Structures are given as C-alpha cells and as structure tokens.
Amino acid sequence: MTANKLYNVLFLCTGNSARSILAESLLNHWGHGKFRGFSAGSFPKGQVDPLAVELLQRMNLPAENLRSKSWHEFAAPGAPPLDFIFTVCDNAAGEVCPVWPGKPMTAHWGIADPAAVEGTDAEKAFAFRKALKQLETRIKLFTSLPIASLDSATLQARLREIGKSHTATEPA
C-alpha cells in the first residue's frame, strides 16, 4: 500500500442502520482525506436509525447522505475498490460475504448493538454514545497506523488488535 493513497474502508453490519453508519461517519471525519468510509449491511433495514443520526448531528459529525444499503453494492462492477473491510457486529462476521475484488484486508471489530437496547430514552441514548465512543477509539487507532510502511502480516495483526481494544464505559 502506498503512502499517498486514499484508502477505501467498508464497515459491515447486518442491518446497516446504526453501528456501521456511525463508523462510516467517524472515519470520514477522522480520516483526514486519507480514508474514505462506506457502510453496508447483509440484510439492510432500509433506513438509518434516527438515534444514530441525532447523535452524529449532536457531535458535529457528518450525517448527511447516510443511507442503509446492501453490501452487494460494493461487490458490483463500478463500486469503489476496497482496501479494508471491518465487520462491526457479530452476525456479519460469521456470514458468507461476497467475493471482494482486490482482496481487501478484513478484521472483526464487534460492538454491542445500540439499536437493540430496550429501556428509557436515556438508556438508549447512552447505548448509542457508548457504541460511538468505542468505534471512535478504534478508528483513531486505525487512522494513526503507518499503513504504507507495514508488511501485510503486521498490518493484519494490528487490525485484529484494534478490534479487541476497549474503551471506558463513559460516553462522549
């Protein structure tokens, strides 16, 4: 991988309504023009969770043009060439994925599903903030990697380590 390359990163989840959407926005914010984030789902819900959009807007993160879409869009001819694919939910990590042109590097960065939280509005909001903070920590670690100077095995190991990193339970 070269030093001045724009790296395309796809975040996968089952519904593509919360975690992968948050990750797409975060990477496009923290990627500083070196990374471009996308998100998709194996069984997309067809709409972005309103709590995800509200949180992104409140945190001054990109929230426009986000949509729930199928991962098949990224395996089709004319799709952006992918350099990295990260699964952010347990379901997507175990599913059979399409064949990705160019064989991007992959890793699993599982995050608890904030959209599955039942309870008060405050408890739901807390779950979304916690997921955002965990993803933000991992994305900052990822964007700080010297990708161009790492060999494939070392880079793959670092990507897996990032997926195991935890953050404090206090939200942003």
* Whether 114 is catalytic: no
Structural element, H or E, at residue 106: strand 105-108
List the catalytic residue out of 59, 97, 115, 141: 97
Which residues, 6 or more positions from 50, have their beta carbon under 8 angstroms from its beta carbon? none
CA 66 to chain centre: 13
d(CA 19, CA 42): 13
The number of C-alpha atoms within 13 Å of 23 and in the hemisphere containing its C-beta is 35
List the catalytic residue out of 85, 89, 93, 132: 89
10 Å Cβ neighbour count for 59? Answer: 16
* Contact (Cβ atoms closer than 8 angstroms) between residue 8 and residue 81: yes
* Whether 97 is catalytic: yes
3-state secondary structure (DSSP) of residue 95? coil
* Whether 13 is catalytic: yes
- Sign for the CA dihedral angle at 156, 157, 158, 163 comes to positive
List the catalytic residue out of 12, 13, 132, 162: 13
The length of the chain in residues reads: 172
Active-site amino acid positions? 13, 89, 97
